[in-house]
Copies of this chain bind each other. A is one copy, B any other.
Amino acid sequence: MKIGIAGYGNLGRGVEAAVELAGDMDLTAVFTRRDPETVKVATDTPVLPMTKIDEMAEDIDVIILCGGSATDLPVMTPEIAAKCNVVDSFDTHANIPQHLAAVDESAKAAGNIGVISVGWDPGLFSVARLYANAALPVGKDYTFWGRGVSQGHSDAIRRIDGVLDARQYTVPVEEAVQRVRNGENPDLTTRDKHTRECYVVAEEGADLEAIEKAIVTMPNYFDEYDTTVTFITQEEMDRDHKGLPHGGSVLRSGVTGIEGEFGDTIEFSLNLESNPYFTGSVLAAVARAAYRMNKEGESGARTIFDIPPYLLCETPREELIAHML
């Protein structure tokens, strides 16, 4: 199948690598809003201006949208779903129903499939929550994120006066994770579940105490967490904090039995050295499913909840059933 990528940042790079790896996919084009001459991709794929999607869409089976959730995807996904099958990683949880409706309308009218909110959260974590809830209808869900880099929190620190660079790690509190694993069903506050570690490069002569205070008291981002701030040099930042690792665990603890007398725990965990490359890999797998569903005559908006899992793999269904079931 022929794949396009719209938007070429970290996530676009991740999708490119995943498509390159897949035996059943070819990367037809990378579309960008920047000057295509300035965009250097990792493969020999042509880089075209975003406006070329109109004429290229006919020759592409699925376009994977690698824009941001805040302003890009709410416009981009419905628009491009009117021209081609699409997959996006829309992750503003509160606006998912509205995004789904917009994509459904435009995809259905065009006879295309648009799969939204794909990645690991939303994505694999969501589907783990769903299976856990199906298997244990009486129970309690917990999600822990990290240890990993939060781009949003890193950006928030960078906007503080006197800060040159920053990297923020979200860290799950190991004791809290362990209590959930033990089936204790604890009530956990925001502070109980995660801590935040900040590594900051400050301008020479900046007021470090003021920067630290601005970070730890920042509403929504840090004030409800135990936050540590460590000042480092730009060299240390470049040497020790270049990567974008992430991961976490979805847990459900519940009961079975006629009186709820048996306690069970289900856990799904990810430990990712590169968040965007893993997310890109999930997007590529879902693009395969989108193509196959569309070939069967389906159209409209979908989520990972709607996809029969066998459609995600390159391996044919019969082989999966024979060897993986």
> Which residues of the other chain, B, contact A124 by a CB distance below 8 angstroms?
131, 135, 266
Q: Is A167 interfacial (CB-CB < 8 Å)? A: no
On chain B, the residues within 8 Å of A263 by CB distance are: 273
Which residues between 271 and 325 of chain A lie within 8 Å of chain B, taking CB atoms? 271-274, 277-278, 280-282, 285, 303-310, 312-315, 317-318, 320-322, 324-325
Task: Confirm or deny: A96 has a beta carbon within 8 angstroms of a beta carbon on chain B.
Answer: yes
Instruction: Specify which chain B residues have a CB less than 8 angstroms from the CB of A34 in the assembled complex.
Output: none
Which residues on the B side are within 8 Å of A269 (C-beta)? 265-269
Q: Which residues of B contact A268 (CB under 8 A)?
A: 128, 266-269
Tell me the residues in window 126-151 of chain A with beta carbons closer than 8 Å to chain B beta carbons. 126-131, 133-138
Point out the residue from B21, B303, B313 that lies within 8 Å of A325, measured CB to CB. Answer: B303
Report which residue of A134, A266, A282, A317 has the largest number of chain B beta carbons within 10 angstroms of its beta carbon. A134
User: For the complex, what is the distance from the CA of A310 to the CA of B124, rounded to whole Å?
Assistant: 14
Instruction: From known contacts A18-B256, A256-B18, A305-B308, infer whether A313 and B274 are also in contact, taking CB-CB under 8 Å.
Output: no
- Write the nearest CB–CB distance from A241 to chain B, whole angstroms: 16
CA of A318 to CA of B131, assembled, Å: 16
- Chain B residue nearest to A117 (CB atoms) is B325
Check if A96 sits within 8 Å of B137, measured CB to CB: no
Complex contacts, A265 vs chain B, CB 8 Å: 269-271
Residue in contact with A274 in the complex, picked from B42, B256, B305, B324, CB distance below 8 Å: B256
Mask, A9-25, CB within 8 Å of B = 1, is 00000101110111000
Q: How far is the CA of A277 from the CA of B138 in the complex (A)?
A: 13
Q: Does A308 contact B310, Cβ atoms closer than 8 Å?
A: no
Distance of A52 from chain B, by nearest CB (Å)? 24
Identify the closest chain B residue to A244 (Cβ): B262
A40 within 8 A of B: no
Query: Which single member of B267, B281, B307 contacts A256 (CB below 8 Å)?
Result: B281
Q: Is A122 an interface residue (CB 8 A)?
A: yes
User: Which A215-271 residues sit within 8 Å CB-CB of chain B?
Assistant: 256-258, 262-271
B256 touching A280 by the CB < 8 A rule? yes
- Give Cα A134–Cα B124 distance, bound, in whole angstroms: 11
Question: Smallest distance from the beta carbon of A15 to chain B beta carbons, Å?
Answer: 11
Report how far A303 CA is from B324 CA in the complex, Å. 11
When chains A and B are docked, how far (Å) is the Cα of A179 from the Cα of B232? 32
Write out, one digit per residue, whether chain A residues 97-116 have a CB within 8 A of any chain B CB (1) or not (0).
Answer: 10010000000000000000
Closest-CB distance, A138 to chain B (whole angstroms): 7
A273 touches B281 (CB 8 A): no
Cβ contact of A321, chosen from B138, B270, B285, B303, cutoff 8 A: B303
Among residues of B, the one whose C-beta sits closest to the C-beta of A127 is B309
Identify the closest chain B residue to A91 (Cβ). B325
Q: Given the interface contacts A265-B271, A266-B269, A325-B93, does A285 sit within 8 Å of B17 by beta carbon?
A: no
Closest residue of chain B to A321 (Cβ to Cβ) is B303
4 additional A-B pairs beyond A264-B270, A266-B268, beta carbons within 8 Å, are A122-B325, A130-B313, A267-B271, A307-B308
The 6 A-B residue pairs with the shortest CB-CB distance in the complex, in nearest-first order: A134-B312, A256-B277, A262-B274, A262-B273, A305-B310, A134-B285
